[in-house]
Structure 1
Amino acid sequence: MDVALQALTVLAAIALGVRTKGLTVGLWGAAGVLVLVWVFGLPPGSVPTSAIFVIFAVVTAAGAMQAAGGIDYLVGIAQRVIRAHPNQVTFIAPYVAWLFATGAGTGFVYYSILPVIYEVAYGNKVRPERPMAIAPTASQMGITSSPVSSAMAIMVGLMAPLGFEITNILSIVLPSTAIAIGAAAFVQNKIGKPLDRDPVYQARLAAGEVTAPEPVDIGVASASAKRSTWIFGTGILLILAFGIFEGLRPVIPGADGPEPLAMTTMIQIIMLIVALVILLWCRTRSADVPRAQVFRSGMSAIIALWGVSWLANTFIAANEDSIVEGLGGIADNAPIFIAVALFIVAALTTSQSSATIAIIPIGITLGLEPWQLTAMWMAVIGLYTFPINGSQLATIELDATGSTRISRFVIYHSFTIGMLVMAVVSVLVGLGIGGIFYG
């Protein structure tokens, strides 16, 4: 009974955080920790300080890049790529959104290319729903593909003690996600009627509610904006190099003798230096970094991670035996249930990071292999189950044709099919790749 009440406390804290959204998810997590400690007498769990420090370092570097104009430069490149092949916008837009979110470590890039996707689709008589419903989903897949996203920082911190480094994670995630996006784009390209036979669009057109979108001005990026993206990109390449070639890392004293510096520490050092180089070489004001959208959203992610992970770790550490006993059989017979749990928690919290820190430690406790957990981790794309995310709402609002919409059933909407295809294909392909190379 105590364990059940503790679990309800955890779920209640998360639910209250979801209702208020943003950093309050973490604040409610701290309130849940207080209840677990004070009412149930549990010792406070650990806080993933390494993951928090990695996120802080990465968003500082990304904030410096944005302050220097680097994000705008990346958006300009994305816009040109999408316009170069207008008839294939349903296939190109999601890959562009994914690649740029992967490189920048944030899905905010999508907001800037959204008007271009709509303009190109409408101008070439492509049903806007097709590219517009899949591109934001693909950009969120970029969060689990990025070496410098907050969700990846958490995953690296959880997997590193198991000997599964960032390069191992990416070797599963990158090809799986690329294949999943292609499969989703193929399916999405068949969805919906052409606009000339869509009754919703025809009614809006007759009412004078639809006008051709104005071309979006890309603008010209400054030299410092371009330089900042190259500096940031170099930082990403260094992280990958140090992850692949362990011998490149500094050797420090360890419990069992000399050992390479941990990748979580290497990422912190590299990204903080990247931020410094951008500030100095691109002559960016340090005061502009905290004002950058990427930095502000990253700080919210840190607070959310702090509270939710503290709450989850407090509950899991105190009830490890009960969890293993209750779920161990399910994990042995059907380990895929971890993917389902990740999908559901991501849907409820609308956060890949929160779902990662809440469910992956349970999988570790149950003894699942790191490659299995990594493959199933991509199910966190379930955060698009309910049409309540900013990117979804912005997409629906922009599509004046009415083709991108929410049905009366709420959980079925324009983003549903693409999200489900990406979730299923990425997990299955990931399990296949992981089984071949690590099984």
Structure 2
Amino acid sequence: MVYLQLLVVLGAIFIGVRMGGIGLGVTGGAGLFILTFGFGLKPGHAPIDVILIIISVITASAALQSARGLDYMVALAARFLRRSPRHIVLLAPLVGWLSTFLAGTGFIALALMPIVVEVAEKTGIRPERPLAGLTVASQNAIVACPVSAATVALAAVLAPHGVALTDIIMISIPATLLGTLAGGLTMLRYGRELAGDPVYRQRLADGLARPDPAADAQGLPRTAAWSVYGFLATVALIVLLAALPQLRPAWPGAHGMEPVAMVDVIQMCMLGYAALAMMVCKADLHAMAAGGMFRSGAVAAVTILGAAWMSDTFIQANLPLFQHNIVSIVHAAPWLFACAVFTMAVILFSQGATTKVMMPLGVSLGLAPPLLIAIYPAVVGVYVLPSYPSIIAAVEMDYTGTTRIGRWVFNHSFILPGLVTTTVSIAAGFALQALR
């Protein structure tokens, strides 16, 4: 019976991934219906907290975008990259990591991609090298960002075990930075030199290798900079309140005075920032709701609702079986659980959904919170299948044609820097935990 249930779960995930968009959320809901009414499983916990946080964070990010704050950040990044064009292979991943860490969304890399391609091509550097590193690093930074859906989900899972948000980011920030640097280093000599690439030479002959115009900070309103500073201040406030719970309002509870939960703090701060951005920085309310940022958040929320709820139902119903057969293996070789998390990330196409599905399982199997924090970068396996939006965008934006998806699907430009980045990030996480 368990195998039939697993077949339903995997079938729902496979069909949903093939459908794209909110397909995974919809098929996850259908799979949940079959598990509940067909097999009689008690529905698990719907990831309401995570969904509410995603909605609030995406609302704040949409306000930042509408106030031209993202354009301002991109223009600054472009200016920085153009000052050191010869070092772009290493600088591009670091800039991508920092941009995602500050903005809270990996899709900010899409705005940086044309700049990276242009600077690399004009310097005679194969654009595939910095572009692949940038794309992977922008997703890797999700693990380090304190307000990303994945990090907040992990914090919610580990909070009952005495783990604070600061405990997570103190490991994930340096670990992912080291991983990002390692991924960039692997691309220093990757592929043919640009001048000798036959695809690029053919595109030059056909007149197709032409750069797109880049953003300019001079043409942006002053409020664009204000919106960025306000967003960074809001993130800093969230980190401060996580590190010093005594600053949060508290009320009598079952365990004495209990401060307001961080999941609620994040929602309040993000929605408060969005309100200030609309009033002070002239963020357009209608543009926020109609923009791509808000739509991507809605897709993520539906995906997590269906896929995570279905997976949690299956896991909780069969948890005794998993614990009996897996717990000894996982404790003997924790890296096997990291492989399981990575595989699920490849399937689910979402760091947040993977965290919500797999980390509660890790807790149920008895894995210690420090171990789960070290394994956390494994949720960035979204780059393995070359159908993730930022990967497709990178291939399309490289007008030189050097960034490609291979004939065998998996031999694409992002697989090597991605695997190196993830492996080094996890290894660094284990090393940092050992030093604490």
Shared fold, TM over 0.5: yes
TM-score (norm 1): 0.95
Distance (Å, rounded) in 2 between the aligned partners of 1:297 and 1:397: 19
Shift of residue 435, structure 1, vs aligned partner: 2.5
- After TM superposition, the structure 1 = structure 2 runs for residues 95-106 of structure 1, keeping only pairs within 5 Å, are 95-106=94-105
1:295 is displaced (CA, Å) by 1.7
**Structure 1 residues 183-233: Cα deviation after superposition (integer angstroms, max 9, x where no partner):** 11111102112123333333444x434535255242522122111111111
Would you say the 8 A contact 1:150–1:298 is kept in 2? no
C-alpha separation in 2, matches of 1:398 and 1:285: 28
Quote the Cα distance in structure 1 between the aligned partners of 2:195 and 2:69: 40
Q: Partners in 1 of 2:215 and 2:7 — Cα distance?
A: 51
Q: Deviations over 1:43-75 (max 9, x none)?
A: 111112222221111111111111111111111
Q: For the aligned residues, what is the CA RMSD?
A: 1.5
Aligned equivalents of 1:402, 1:282: Cα separation in 2 = 39
Deviates more, 1:49-58 or 1:165-174: 49-58
Equivalent residues of 1:180, 1:426 under 8 A apart: yes
SS in 2 for 1:388: coil
CA distance in 1, matches of 2:289, 2:55: 11
CA deviation string 1:157-193 (max 9, x = no partner):
2121222121111011100010111111111102112
Q: SS at 1:380's partner residue?
A: helix
Q: After TM superposition, list the pairs within 5 Å mapping 1:418-437 onto structure 2.
A: 418-437=417-436
Label 1:125 to 1:285 Cα distance change in 2 as closer, same or farther (>3 A): closer
Whole-angstrom CA distance in 2 between matches of 1:271 and 1:403: 39
Q: Could you say which residue in structure 1 is the equivalent of 2:275?
A: 276
| 1:325 CA drift (Å) | 0.7
Q: CA offsets, 1:348-387, max 9 Å, x none?
A: 2222122222221211111111121122121122111121
Taking the TM superposition and a 5 Å limit, the aligned residue runs for 1:222-233 are: 222-233=221-232
- Give the match's secondary structure for 1:108: helix
Given that 2:28 and 2:306 are in contact with CA atoms closer than 8 Å, whether structure 1 keeps it comes out as yes
The CA distance in 1 between the partners of 2:189 and 2:427, in whole Å, is 23
The residue aligned with 2:397 is: 398
Q: Distance in 1 between matches of 2:370 and 2:12?
A: 30
Equivalent position of 1:256 in the other structure = 255
The aligned residue for residue 216 of structure 2 is 218
Offset at residue 436 of structure 1 (A): 2.3
**Which one-letter code corresponds to 1:386 in the other structure?**
L
1:322 Cα deviation after fit? 0.6
Structure 2: 5+ residue stretches without partners:
none
Give the 3-state SS of the residue equivalent to 1:241 in structure 2.
Answer: helix
Distance 1:119 1:285, change over 3 A: closer
Q: Secondary structure at the match of 1:57?
A: helix
CA distance in 1, matches of 2:160, 2:301: 21
Matches within 5 A, 1:401-420: 401-420=400-419
Separation (CA, whole Å) in 2 of partners of 1:287 and 1:325 = 53
Q: Distance in 1 between matches of 2:152 and 2:13?
A: 21
1:357 and 1:8 map into 2 onto residues whose CA distance is 20
**How big is each residue's C-alpha offset from its partner over 1:120-151, in whole Å with a ceiling of 9 and x where there is no partner?**
00000011111011111111112112112222
Deviation at 1:113, TM superposition (A): 1.1
Aligned to 2:150: 151
The alpha-carbon deviation at position 293 of structure 1 amounts to 2.0
Matched, 1:342 2:341: yes
Distance, in Å, in 2 between the alignment partners of 1:269 and 1:398 is 37
Tell me by how many angstroms 1:393 deviates: 1.7
Q: How many residue pairs are counted as aligned between the two chains?
A: 435
User: 1:332 is paired with a residue of what secondary structure?
Assistant: helix
In 2, Cα distance between equivalents of 1:386 and 1:258: 47
Structure 2 distance, partners of 1:23, 1:154, is 20
Letter matched to residue 313 of structure 2: T
State the partner residue of 1:3: 2
Verify the 8 A CA contact 1:165 1:263 in the aligned structure 2: no
Question: By how many angstroms is 1:398 displaced?
Answer: 2.5
Shift of 1:414: 0.9
Which structure 2 residues correspond to residues 36-185 of structure 1 after superposition, within 5 A?
36-185=35-184
Q: Is the Cα contact below 8 Å between 2:211 and 2:399 reproduced in 1?
A: no
* Paired position in structure 2 for 1:190: 189
Closer, same or farther: CA 52–212 of 1 in aligned 2, 3 Å: closer
C-alpha spacing 1:25/1:214, structure 2 compared with 1 (3 Å): closer
Alpha-carbon separation, structure 2, partners of 1:379 and 1:61: 27
- Provide the C-alpha distance between the structure 2 equivalents of 1:68 and 1:288, rounded to a whole number of angstroms: 10
Calculate percent identity across the aligned residue pairs.
37
In structure 1, how many angstroms separate the alpha carbons of the residues matched to 2:203 and 2:220? 37
In the aligned structure 2, how far is the partner of 1:64 from the partner of 1:89?
30
SS at match of 1:407: coil
Corresponding position of 2:244: 245
- Partner AA of 1:194 in structure 2: E
Unaligned runs of 5+ in 1: none
Which has the higher mean CA deviation after the structures are superposed, 118-127 or 407-416? 407-416
1:251–1:260 Cα contact (<8 Å) kept: yes
Code of the aligned partner of 1:187: T
